[in-house]
Every structure is written in structure tokens, then in C-alpha cells.
Amino acid sequence: MNLSDNQTAGQGPRRVSAMEAVLAYLRRAIERGDYAVGDKLPSEAALSREFEVSRSVVREALRGLQALGLTVSRTGKGTFVTATGPAENPTFGDYSARDLFEVRRHVEIPVAGYAALRRTPDHLDLLGHLVGRMDAETDNRAWVALDSLFHISIAQASGNPVFAKVIEEIRDALARQSAFLNQLGDRRAESNVEHRRIVTAIAGGSDADAVAAMTAHLEHVEKTLTTIVRPVRAPEQNGND
């Protein structure tokens, strides 16, 4: 079964990667009961042969299953199914997605408004530099680190050190959530556009525009996570893949 060829070439707004195809296949298999809770998934090598993809692709797909809360990896033993459906409120480090969204709505949105009113030329230079690096960055882990720094820098531009402390406290959770959304929701390109809109609004000095730009960004992030956890399923076709 060559998922890299068969399932990534379908029509749609973007090409689905081999990792996403493997992840989607395994997720559906778990959700329909092909693998029950407690079952061990085939090894990386076996899955690599079955799907005709590299082991690194399989490894990323297995990480995606863990991020969804469907499996757990046990060193030296393999990957085991822990649930038949993803958690509706996944946890990122010490905080749940719900916790993060509540805090971000009540902190980062007004912070963007304050940043528009209080930013200095140095703040704008840094924010402009960060969005430029994020546009050019191809490594996912490096992009996630820049994403966290971007949001902390906006808090610093607000002129209130307490805001920066709050964002710094949840920095690890934000990074984990960002990596999750990029891996399973292909959020990077959209985030880059949204980040530029935020910087443009802050540079323009309009607190209302900055608040609106940050609100839109967080709404898109929340919508993507909801879509990942509760995707709209297309009817499955009969027949073998």
C-alpha cells in the first residue's frame, strides 16, 4: 500500500503529506476498532514496509497519534493504543487546550492593543525581524521557537512586565500546542500571514486594529484545533486501498 502516492495526490486545496496520510489511516483504524485499547501497533519497520514510506515518516505519524491522545510509546516495547478517540481537550505540558485558550483570550488580545499604543522603534524592529525569520524558516522546531518568542515580544512591547511574565509562564505549553497544530493542522503558512497582520496593526498604532488582528489569529488557532480533534469525516469508499 503506497499512501505516499495514492492518498497524497487527491484533489483539494493542498497536497497531503505522506506523514498525514499515514496518520489519518492509523487514526481511522483505531477509531473503528481495528486496534483496541491495549493493543500494540505494528513496529516502525513493519509500518514503513506496509505504507512504502520511510521510517522517519512513520515516526512522525506515531507522534501525531500520541499528541491526539490515542497512543502511548513505551521505550523498548512499542506503541500501544490508549483510547479509541482523541481527547476533546488535549493537554500541552502542564495546561489543557481549554486553559490556554481562556488565558490567551483574556491576556494576549488586550496585550496587542497596549503594544500598539506603547511600542517603541526597537520593539517594531524585533517584531519585523521575527516575522521575516518565520517566513523563511523551513525547520518546524525552529519555527515553533520563533512563534513563542513572537508572542512574548508582543507582551514586552505592551510596556507591562506582568503580561510578559504570564506569557513566559505558559511558553512551553504554547510551543507544544503550536507544534501540534503545525503537525496535524498545517497552520504555519496561515500563522505567518496572521502574524504579519498583527505586526502591521501594532506598527500602525491602532489598538482597535491590533486587538482585531490578534482576535482573528486566536480564533483561527482554536478553530484548527477543534477541527483536528473532531474532524468532519467524508464517507469511506468500499474496496481495498
pLDDT tens track for 95-128: 999 999 999 999 999 999 999 999 999 999 999 9
**pLDDT for 60-88, tens place per residue?**
889 889 888 899 999 889 999 999 988 88
Higher pLDDT, 177 or 230: 177
The three cell numbers locating residue 61 = 505519524
CATH architecture entry for 91-228: Up-down Bundle (1.20)
- Cβ of 77: how many Cβ atoms within 10 Å? 9
**pLDDT for 124-180, tens place per residue?**
999 999 999 999 998 888 999 999 999 999 999 999 999 999 999 999 999 999 988
The three cell numbers locating residue 240 = 481495498
In this structure, is the dihedral angle defined by the CA atoms of residues 206, 209, 212 and 213, taken in order, positive or negative?
Answer: negative
* Domain positions in the chain: 3-86, 91-228
The predicted pLDDT at position 90 comes to 86
Q: For residues 204 and 118, give the distance between their C-alpha atoms in angstroms, rounded to a whole number.
A: 11
Higher pLDDT, 92 or 12: 92
pTM of the prediction? 0.79
The predicted pLDDT at position 7 comes to 46
The three cell numbers locating residue 31 = 477509531
List the alpha helices (DSSP H) in the chain. 3-6, 18-31, 44-51, 55-67, 97-118, 121-136, 140-157, 161-169, 171-185, 188-204, 207-229
CATH topology of domain 3-86: Arc Repressor Mutant, subunit A (1.10.10)
